[in-house]
Amino acid sequence: MTQQTKTWSQNPSIYQINTPVWLNTLSRKYGKHIDLNHVPAEVLDELADLHFDAVWLMGVWQRPTATRKSALNYIHEYQGALPDVTEDDVIGSAYAIGGYTVDKQLGGRDGLAHFRQNLRVRGMGLMLDFIPNHTSVDHPWLKQFPQYYVTAQTEHLEMEPDMFFPIEDTSGEKTWVAHGRDPYFPSWIDTAQFNAFNPGLRDATLAMLMDIASQCDGVRCDMAMLMMNSVFGQTWGWVAGEAPQMDFWKEIIPQVKAKYPNMLFIAEVYWNLEYQLQQQGFDYTYDKTLYDRLLEGNVDGAYVHLRADRDYLSRNIRFIENHDEERAAVAFGVDRSRAAAVTISTLPGAKLYHDGQFTGRTVKLPVHIKRQPDEREHLPLKNFYRNLLKETSDLIYQNGEWSLFDIRPAFEDDHTIFHVLAYGWRYQDEYRLIAVNLTASWSMGFIDVRNWTSMARFDWRCHDMLSDSDVYRSGEELIEHGFYVELEPYQSRIYRLTTHNTPVKNMLRRLIRERD
């Protein structure tokens, strides 16, 4: 029976798992074969304890013979990630699939449904991949429906011979089909390029997505911008024909949501096309801009980015690690990764975390293999994430009003304020004040919280949820001067502000001070 799609909270937290690798690791840990039907309850309970809204199972779809064969040609390149890699470890790219059928080795369609139900009873949803741009080079549609793909005439082959490969359709006629690509890189040789302008493909895509939507609560759409009329036309207009009037996603997403209103669509997107894809129906789009600025330690750039329209910001999904990026413990270093994690976890919008991120894994694994090397867990980092995710599961981050704050210098010519990013949340009588030092320099300054005017009536206990320490501030001083902070390199503070006295007591104290 098809399960009802999950109702999503605002600013959801999503955990990405490389499914074959995860199941292989569990199988080795428990000494028996584990598929999606048999994931131990304690493993699922641990995911639920981390307050995730959903689990994204990457790589569940069928990987055909040609995909694996292509990947085996590059087995030597996988040794950097897995020195003892064998041919048995190579399963082919998760993004050159032969069809939207759950791999039998992972548990098949029934196993996926069982896993989804196990998530559901723990309050979590299930997300899956959707690859709109291409298939494997031996997908059955190549013979059945070659018109769904970008094909070449003789003059096209003469112009770009390396972009195409030959197939024979069911009648035995040879057709030249393009390999999948984006406009800035060479073709992916294990893929065949869909024709986003073809109406038959759009109908078939809709049917596929309807079936996928019956099995999950959301999809992460790989390289979603490649199917936009403007981008596809730039890449393939010379051979694919004229663009239809309506953009691909504007035609597809509303029809899926008409049947599955809560189906979540997340776009992997770059090239400053995030807003356009939000307008075309995506619930969330990748925030690669903030990732880059965090990686650079570019505080001013982060401020500029976060001054954008609030609705746009709240429809970003943020990350410091995923299967395409370097491991956070390597890209940032463990200390810097904590500051970056606090930032992406406490901003409006969705959050994406990656399996292994919390334990400090350092090896970026190719998506073509099913086994990862053993690495020692970084227990302090694991505890940090547990505390952070517990804090950010609070309703203030779901229902509150978010504000970005400027910082005033502590004294003239003090430039350390340019190292710190500060903002806060307010929900009813609750407050959170977040300050993050994104640089390697010690910093101090006064956070300008004047728009929280009602704070002047009280004194405040300010409890740092990360260090479990307290400071006390006068509400009048907070409004007049700001909230003073000192931060070590890459240090973060998440202050929970609670009243320390009553308005009457505060009024009497002020009257006594004025009398004296």
Residue at 234 is within a domain = no
49: DSSP letter:
H
- pTM of the predicted model over 0.85: yes
92 in the same domain as 138: no
Residue at 62 is within a domain = yes
292 in the same domain as 257: no
509 in the same domain as 403: yes
Residue at 161 is within a domain = yes
511 in the same domain as 410: yes
460 in the same domain as 412: yes
135 in the same domain as 265: yes
Q: Which of 112, 127, 118 is nearest to 55 (CA)?
A: 127
Residue at 198 is within a domain = yes
Query: Per the structure, how many domains does the chain have?
Result: 3
Q: Which CA distances in Å does 380 have to 157, 338, 364?
A: 57, 11, 21
Residues 6+ apart with CB under 8 A from 20: 59, 91, 103, 105, 106, 370
Instruction: Categorise residue 168: left if φ over 0, alpha if ψ from -120 to 50, beta otherwise.
Output: beta
265 in the same domain as 137: yes
Residue at 237 is within a domain = no
- Per residue of the chain (516 residues), give pLDDT as tens: 456 777 898 899 999 999 999 999 999 999 999 999 999 999 999 999 999 999 999 999 999 999 999 999 999 999 999 999 999 999 999 999 999 999 999 999 999 999 999 999 999 999 999 999 999 999 999 999 999 999 987 767 767 778 899 888 777 778 899 999 999 888 999 999 999 999 999 999 999 999 999 999 999 999 999 999 999 999 998 888 889 999 999 999 999 999 999 999 999 999 999 999 999 999 999 999 999 999 999 999 999 999 999 999 999 999 999 999 999 999 999 999 999 999 999 999 999 999 999 999 999 999 999 999 999 999 999 999 999 999 999 999 999 999 999 999 888 777 777 899 999 999 988 999 999 999 999 999 999 999 998 888 889 999 999 999 999 999 999 999 999 999 999 999 999 999 876 544 555 455 545 555
Domain encompassing residue 166? 131-222+242-269
Q: Which amino acid is at 349?
A: G
100 in the same domain as 149: no
509 in the same domain as 385: no
Residue at 75 is within a domain = yes
Residue at 68 is within a domain = yes
Query: Three-state DSSP class for 63?
Result: coil
Q: Which of 374, 393, 412 is the last residue of a domain?
A: 393
Residue at 6 is within a domain = no
Q: Which residue has the tokens 């300050």?
A: 435
382 in the same domain as 426: no
Q: Which of 393, 415, 438 is the last residue of a domain?
A: 393
| CATH number of the domain residue 415 falls in | 2.60.40.1180
Q: What is the torsional sign of CA 50, 54, 55, 58?
A: negative
Q: What is the torsional sign of CA 359, 362, 367, 369?
A: negative
Query: Within the chain, how many helices (H) and strands (E) appear?
Result: 19, 24
Q: Which of 346, 361, 393 is the last residue of a domain?
A: 393
444 in the same domain as 357: no
In degrees and rounded to multiples of 5, residue 98 shows phi and psi of -100, 5
136 in the same domain as 77: no
Spatial distance between the Cα atoms of 219 and 128, rounded to a whole number of angstroms = 5
